[in-house]
Amino acid sequence: MTDSMQSNPRQAKQAHITPVAHKPQTMLAFQVGRVRLVLPLVQVQRVLFLPALTPAPTAAPWVVGMMHIGHEALPVVDLSLRLGYRTPCHYSVDTPLILCREGQRAGVFVVDEIDGLCRPTPLQSERIGQEPLIAQLLEDEQGPLMMLDLEHALNANPPLRPIEAFLMSGERA
């Protein structure tokens, strides 16, 4: 750290989140609650609206059902429930969904709104704290974004955060 940065802690803090060098990557931006998230476009197979879902009664509370596409049955994950922003609700036929695939793993995410394509700049090159669902902090001209970690978001048996373990234990009682 330079002498001028040591004498001004605010400047040092700003230097910590300066954009890192990167090759621009096109991403799909969307909203869950009041948070803007992105997924690399190469992981997005299509954006669609909610069809009829097959119930998944033994799945985690944020898996709201299964969607049949071709010969596949894909889990439908409500990201707002998964991130703890709301309680279960009814969905309308115009509820936006994002069908994602990475290698052999695929799933569908319920989101609140699709913002469109963007080319954000990374602010941090390493994982954010202990949050397994967020891979990276980025920004674009509209403000901050968090890149969803698709592998963790599609994990069938994810490790529960303390609040999730507490809520789920209360449901069993």
Secondary structure class of 140 (helix, strand, coil): strand
| β-pairing verdict for 143-148 and 134-140 | antiparallel
Closest-CA residue to 133 (of 85, 68, 90): 85
| Total Cβ atoms within 10 A of residue 106 | 17
Which tokens go with 47? 């954006």
pLDDT string in tens for the chain (173-residue length): 444 444 444 443 443 454 555 667 899 999 998 899 999 999 999 999 888 888 888 888 889 999 998 888 999 999 988 888 877 778 888 899 999 998 888 999 999 999 999 999 988 666 555 567 888 889 999 999 999 988 888 875 655 554 444 444 444 33
* Burial letters 3-37, b for 16+ CB under 10 A, else e: eeeeeeeeeeeeeeeeeeeeeeeebbbbbbeebbb
Tell me how many domains the chain contains: 1
In a domain, 24, yes or no: yes
In a domain, 63, yes or no: yes
Question: What is residue 154's predicted lDDT score, i.e. its pLDDT?
Answer: 80
Domain that holds residue 76: 19-172
CATH of the domain at 84: 2.40.50.180
Which tokens go with 118? 């963007």
Q: How many residues does the chain have?
A: 173
Residue whose token pair is 């090159």: 125
In a domain, 11, yes or no: no
In a domain, 12, yes or no: no
CA 111 to chain centre: 9
Closest-CA residue to 143 (of 8, 29, 33, 51): 29
In a domain, 163, yes or no: yes
* Spatial distance between the Cα atoms of 145 and 139, rounded to a whole number of angstroms: 5
Are the CB atoms for 102 and 57 separated by under 8 Å? no
In a domain, 49, yes or no: yes
In a domain, 13, yes or no: no
In a domain, 62, yes or no: yes
